[in-house]
Structure 1
């Protein structure tokens, strides 16, 4: 594989990791946000508004398990600025089958495809890199991103915090709306902003902020880190100018979220994620591409050594 192709793959993998990490607040471990399958905040605060409404949405969304996803992510400082994603997602079990596009995805690299199909099954992401990649990779066009394996390589090179961060990416690849609702219920300042029409539906608007340290402490992807390591990781993120995540959700009269927004303020600007959901309960079957058409990014990284 030539240097240009290697750089293109590296750029695309980096942006994919960015998509995963930036939406971390939407993928928090339910161990902190739930007790016996119900949001802890609902038990502690009773049935008051907006807690009761968000609790009902949590329960209903947990039952439907699939939805159609339309997502837009604004990446500060990236060429092209935006990434869009459209397709189907599922939770319990986690799955994803989407088409990704946008100038920020290719990072300006020559030969990068304008659109990339991405599927996730068994917590592994596969990205269709197109004909150009296949020509360089003996006919293999699908790049496999197993963040558990990437995390092991990162830990060997950069310590437990690096491995934990890659582990978080593995946990955060799928946009599970139930966990978004769970962590919003844990927000110390969740509030109702009234009724609005969104995606053609009347919906109640709720908003709250989640501190970075609380996010890291509550995410099972960082369970392998001790308190000192988690504190260092939180301090590093805060040094980058990120102190908290702002989360918004619009819930319809059917107790389902029609839109979720996340804003992360950083030293390089605001990273924004808008996720629209529809067709809850839609049938979805996602399968991994054949192994004969797949090349493994983790193996490439290991083969390239620490310099990768």
Structure 2
């Protein structure tokens, strides 16, 4: 059950990462409603999204909190920090502290898990020790593809797909975590997400993980993703919400970015506490 909980939540994380892809810099545009540029010279929603997507490609590191629910109604919340080069990630995830609904704590729930990624080395800590008594399980992602799909990609890396949404619009201004933002909404098809990945996506393992996330949702009948994004005055994504529904039920996740380009240090757990993840999955 715990293994299923973690896999389901990470699949949602992977989809949101896919639904959130970008290339290089941009700066300080002010949004105007409508699909084209405004008569006053203000940028259109699509131009704002494209600028934010470019900003994501320049990030060297990122920290964020997440909360939401996977298919089947499994609520989760998480807190993470990641470095793009060198590749490193630390994420804590669990059920909301308040119970079934999505809470605000960021991973301090009853079913707490922790994930660490250092290059290709993926470590997972579960609430209870494995059968071999080890607190941590480890796998080389090069030898077990897909196991770390939910944590080895930039969660703001597919924002460019939203720029192609036919119903993209500005939905007002809001403060998010004390930051002034402009709110945009739109619906993106999986084909639009695939096209955005092809043009702007992560490379290597991150790209493969995003492609796998889209494939998994297609298998459950998901055809499109409802997206909401909140962009700050520096053209940076501050918050992202994704919702989709397929044969396994609805998914809903919100990511709030808490830091950009700050030092990230992720250390491997003590070797004496680490077992083999691939062996655990075979049991």
Structure-1-length-normalised TM-score: 0.66
Q: Structure 1's 128 and 263: CA in aligned 2 closer, same or farther, altered over 3 A? A: same
Select between 13-22 and 269-278 the one with higher mean Cα deviation.
Answer: 13-22
The partner residue of 1:184 within 162, 169, 180 is 162
Task: Please report how far the alpha carbon of residue 271 of structure 1 lies from its aligned counterpart in structure 2 after TM superposition.
Answer: 0.3
* 8 A contact 2:161–2:192 mirrored in 1: no
For 1:205, the equivalent position in structure 2 comes to 183
Which ranges of structure 1 fall in alignment gaps of 5 or more residues? 1-6, 40-44, 152-165, 226-232
Q: How big is each residue's C-alpha offset from its partner over 1:238-285, in whole Å with a ceiling of 9 and x where there is no partner?
A: 563311112221011122221111111123432011001123222211
Q: Return the structure number with greater helix share.
A: 1
Runs of 4+ with deviation above 4 angstroms: 45-48, 145-148, 169-172, 222-225, 236-239
User: CA separation in 2, counterparts of 1:149 and 1:209?
Assistant: 36
Which ranges of structure 2 fall in alignment gaps of 5 or more residues? 27-35, 101-108, 199-206
- Alignment partner of 1:275: what SS? strand
Q: Structure 1's 221 and 211: CA in aligned 2 closer, same or farther, altered over 3 A? A: same
For 2:48, the equivalent position in structure 1 comes to 53
Q: Structure 1's 146 and 20: CA in aligned 2 closer, same or farther, altered over 3 A? A: farther
User: CA separation in 1, counterparts of 2:187 and 2:211?
Assistant: 25
**Structure ID, larger Rg:** 1
1:73-112 to structure 2, matched below 5 A, reads 73-78=68-73, 81-102=74-95
Q: Structure 1's 50 and 16: CA in aligned 2 closer, same or farther, altered over 3 A? A: closer
* 8 A contact 2:25–2:57 mirrored in 1: no
What is the RMSD computed on CA atoms of the aligned residues? 3.7
Q: Structure 1's 248 and 93: CA in aligned 2 closer, same or farther, altered over 3 A? A: farther
For 1:42, the equivalent position in structure 2 comes to none
Select between 11-20 and 292-301 the one with higher mean Cα deviation.
Answer: 11-20
For 1:133, the equivalent position in structure 2 comes to 129
1:14 aligns with 2:7: yes
User: CA separation in 2, counterparts of 1:94 and 1:190?
Assistant: 33
Structure-2-length-normalised TM-score: 0.71
1:115 aligns with 2:115: no
User: CA separation in 1, counterparts of 2:178 and 2:185?
Assistant: 20
Q: Structure 1's 129 and 281: CA in aligned 2 closer, same or farther, altered over 3 A? A: same
For 1:261, the equivalent position in structure 2 comes to 241
